[in-house]
Amino acid sequence: MCMENCEIRVCLHPTTGGLLAIIDVSRNISYEFVSSGFSLTADGTQYFVDSQAVSYEKTDTGVRVLFKDGPFVAECIYTVPEKGAFVERQLRYMCESGMWTAEKIVCEHAVFAKEAESIHFHDDQTLWHVPTNYFIRYSDGGMYMGLAYPYWDREDNAKDSITLGFTPRYTVQEGQWFEAEKTFWGVYRKEGITRYSHGPYPGEKNPAYHDVFAGTGLYQHFAGMKVPEDVGMPQEVLDWGEVWAVQEYFKHHLPRHPLPEGGFWLWQNGWWARLFSPDIHSIDPLLSTGVKDIMTAAMYYGHDRHPTTEPKYICDMSVDPMGFPVQSEADAAGVQEGTSGWHTVVEAGEAREDIVGYTDTFEAPADYVTFIQEAQKQGMYVSSFSTPNNSYKKRPQWYSRLKDGSPQKYFGTAVSCPACDEFMDFHFEMLCRVLDRYHQRLWSLDGRWLNYREIAGYHFETIGDEPCYSAEHGHPVAWDQYKAWKNTQLFKKKLRDRYPTLCLEQYYGLKRGGIWSLTSLNSDENYYEMGSVVNNRYQTWHNENSRFRPMYMNYSSIFGTDPASFEHSIISCLSTAAYGQVSRGYTALKDYPECADVLKRWKTWADENYRFLTDRRSLFGMPGEYAVDGSAHFVDDEGYIFLFTAPGNHADARILLNRWSGLTEDNSARYRVRLVAAVTDDGTAAECLMCNPVVAYGEKIRCRITPNTAVILHVERADDVELLPKDADVMFADTDFVAESFPL
């Protein structure tokens, strides 16, 4: 039994239903298996060890194989996409006699017919060490495989076998299927060019940008908020062919979700712009720029500021029936008349008034209601953000509990357990009340989500698991890991299904989930909050080349305090993500009216060239590794190259045009290269001189670029144009830095 597309052929064993061979069609290379089995441990008994297939069924996308063992039925579903050199496999189990507990799942037990040169385990190179995939390496390429879940049980022989699964300890009701997380297998071509990385932290390679970590949230990952000179992340070497192959899989696993508008969509991040009050004049700098969405810097439009979690009126709300508290007779009358309706704003230190009633729908504070309404009249949408595990005084049984029975806390505030179904269902409906009431186009979730400490600074001592010891949530005491994960994934999916064009982002709270936590989202924050233009490029490089995240899910901001740095930052933002936010760049918009025209001009350019801005290839090592960093954005035989130079003197940037850059492989092709823009971040004269504006496939563009400069080059097929001489010794005589794309 086989299934295939134009890139891969997958053959199954006729008896066991396991993998028999995976063939790389483009190279006609077959990777064969001695065995590829699975097993289930339920209620203390292991099933499906060396089991035989009962039946095979062809489907539109692959093959379904049926197995039986004792009271259990298992389905093994193989899926091959229309395009892509990979196959997915999902196991489903059902017991035909009563409720049961899925204790341990072995998704893959693979033994290879030919011993590999090596088997390399790759995690995402963060402090959380989220498992991502294995590389099974042979001389000219190999396979990659993994499990779409952040907590792996794994065993591997260095050369010939991998066993991979997880421990759910999850209760399944009679007649229900338990669907295990998918595994995947793919093939790759070894390119002979290498990517080096020690994660997005200080390490043995000192970056050329001396301030790459300045002003970032890096410090909050470490106890005492003191960052060591070398975080100790070991340097990892991957072949670029390995990186690009797994990136292609994740484009399938994490499809791009719609945004509120087409083209290059931008919103204003009120938190980073320090917009802490509902001042209608805060939208004035945005009105003429095409930016229509502003996020307030207070959760649920409230007056308590992050990270002290939700405002008190969220904690005080009525749970059954759902209602939001009203704290004065005047506000109660306003609610009844439909004119105002909120709660008296209680300043710190003042006595709290008694709750006199509850609203039927979410009502923002009166000053925010005015802000929202006035902004809507001018075509602006006002959003907010929230934590994903609020606590409610009327339901203390939902709290995550420490071993001593006390509530777990995030920055001093009790949090609820995401493995508690009742809490998650209630919180979803509560959040929908907020979204339905004010019709936001953006919502963000920040803070604690999984029961995991993702930072060690502030009042935390270490990062790590913090299991819930409650016996009331439907998970085993101190083992909420899997149920919490399933619930958060379902929560996000329900939000996405209900609000398909809502821009949905999360910041801290799911970083322990790594790449696997991005389902249903448009983006999440980078590894740590960025503080500068170059740090954003630094982190997004690692997002893609260590974490294998699709570019369109990158998180990117516009900084800048004056016209030059503002425009430089815009170009950097366009190079890293498929949408973005105006961050501290709000300062330039506010103080320099001409910046509105700069932003409009670049947004128009981005809208017109959007098809090139959703995918890219990194051309150099991580930003700061060399004096030049940048990326290529090609669709077939046309696209753009973005280049950025470090401080210092002129750089000699050499960019190889071939399939490594993302071009179609064609040795007869020629390309015309044109300068679109060159902008320094300090307003000094910018320059990008090219000695060869027409370049053959397999040859290099060579540019002499001023320091601190952002450059965009346009590249298009031009076979009928004559090649020009390449002698450039005079032009490049005074350059101090040479940067080669894909250095061997």
Q: Are 284 and 314 in contact (CB under 8 A)?
A: no
Q: Which two structure tokens, joined as six digits, stand for 525?
A: 């924050």
Q: By three-state DSSP, how is residue 370 classified?
A: helix
DSSP string, 35-46: EEEEEEEETTEE
pLDDT tens-digit profile of 69-85?
Answer: 999 999 999 999 999 99
Strands 523-524 and 503-506: parallel
Cα atoms found within 13 Å of the Cα of residue 180, Cβ hemisphere only: 34
Q: Which amino acid is at 435?
A: L
| Confidence category of residue 334, pLDDT binned at 50, 70, 90 | low
pLDDT computed for residue 365 by the predictor: 86
Q: Residue 695: beta bridge partners?
A: 671
d(CA 83, CA 6): 7
DSSP 219: G
Mean pLDDT of 162-167: 98
Which residues, in sequence order, are CB contacts of 192 under 8 Å at separation 6+?
239, 744
Q: What is the mean pLDDT of residues 332-345?
A: 54
CATH topology of domain 266-306+363-586: TIM Barrel (3.20.20)
Which residue in the block uniquely carries the two structure tokens 């294995």?
Answer: 134
Alpha-carbon span 223 to 273, nearest angstrom: 27
pLDDT in tens, 106-155: 999 999 999 999 999 999 999 999 999 999 999 999 999 999 999 999 99
| pLDDT given at position 571 | 98
**pLDDT in the model for residue 346:** 44
Report whether pLDDT(594) > 70.
yes
* CATH label, 616-744, candidates 3.10.580.10, 2.60.40.1180, 3.30.750.24, 1.10.10.60: 2.60.40.1180
Residue 250's contacts (CB-CB under 8 Å, 6 or more residues apart) are 515, 548, 549, 550
Q: What single-letter amino acid sits at 260?
A: P
Label residue 191 by pLDDT band (50, 70, 90): very high
2-189 folds as: Beta-galactosidase; Chain A, domain 5 (2.70.98)
∠ CA(98), CA(99), CA(105), 5° rounding? Answer: 120
Q: What is the predicted pLDDT for the residue at 677?
A: 98
Q: Residue 550 and residue 533: Cα distance in Å, rounded? A: 20
Q: pLDDT per residue over 512-568, tens digit each?
A: 999 999 999 999 999 998 889 999 999 999 999 999 999 999 999 999 999 999 999
pLDDT confidence tier of residue 239, bands split at 50, 70 and 90? very high
Q: Which of 571, 576, 600 is nearest to 677 (CA)?
A: 571
The residue among 522, 274, 262, 267 whose CA lies nearest residue 375 is 267
pLDDT band, very low/low/confident/very high, at 309 (cuts 50, 70, 90): low
CA distance 253 to 256: 10
CA distance linking residue 327 with residue 717, whole number of Å: 68
Show the 3-state SS of 634-684: EECCEEEEEEEECCCCCEEEEEECCHHHCCCCCCCCEEEEEEEEEEECCCC
pLDDT band with cut points at 50, 70 and 90 for residue 298: confident
**Range in 199-203, 243-247, 333-337, 458-462 with the lowest mean pLDDT:** 333-337
Q: State what percent of residues in the chain have pLDDT above 70.
A: 94
Supply the pTM of this predicted model: 0.95
* Coil, strand or helix at 733: coil
CA 611 to CA 633: how far, in whole Å? 9
In one-letter notation, the amino acid at residue 521 is L
CA distance 137 to 158: 11
Closest CA to 301 of 347, 364, 235, 394: 364
Domain locations in the chain as residue ranges: 2-189, 266-306+363-586, 616-744
Average pLDDT of every residue of the chain: 92
pLDDT at site 347: 45
**H or E element at residue 374:** helix 366-377
Tell me what the mean pLDDT of segment 90-118 comes to: 96
CA 714, CA 641: separation in Å to the nearest integer?
7
For the chain, how many residues are written?
A: 744
pLDDT band at 308 (very low <50, low <70, confident <90, very high): low
SS3 598: helix
Which of 188, 169, 158, 167 minimizes the C-alpha distance to 29?
188
Strand, helix or coil for residue 589: helix
Q: Is the alpha carbon torsion for 61, 65, 66, 70 positive or negative?
A: negative
On the question of pLDDT at 262 being above 50, the answer is yes
Sign of the dihedral through C-alpha 183, 186, 192, 195:
negative
- What local confidence, expressed as pLDDT, does residue 202 receive? 85
Helix (H, G, I), strand (E, B) or coil at 2: strand
> If we measure between CA atoms, which residue out of 671, 683, 629 comes closest to residue 651?
629
SS3 per-residue string spanning 606-623: HHHCHHHCCCCEECCCCC
Q: Write the DSSP symbol of residue 15.
A: T
pLDDT for residue 210 is more than 70: no
Q: Is the pLDDT of residue 340 over 50?
A: no
Rounded Cα–Cα distance for residues 127 and 575 (Å): 27
pLDDT at 307: 59
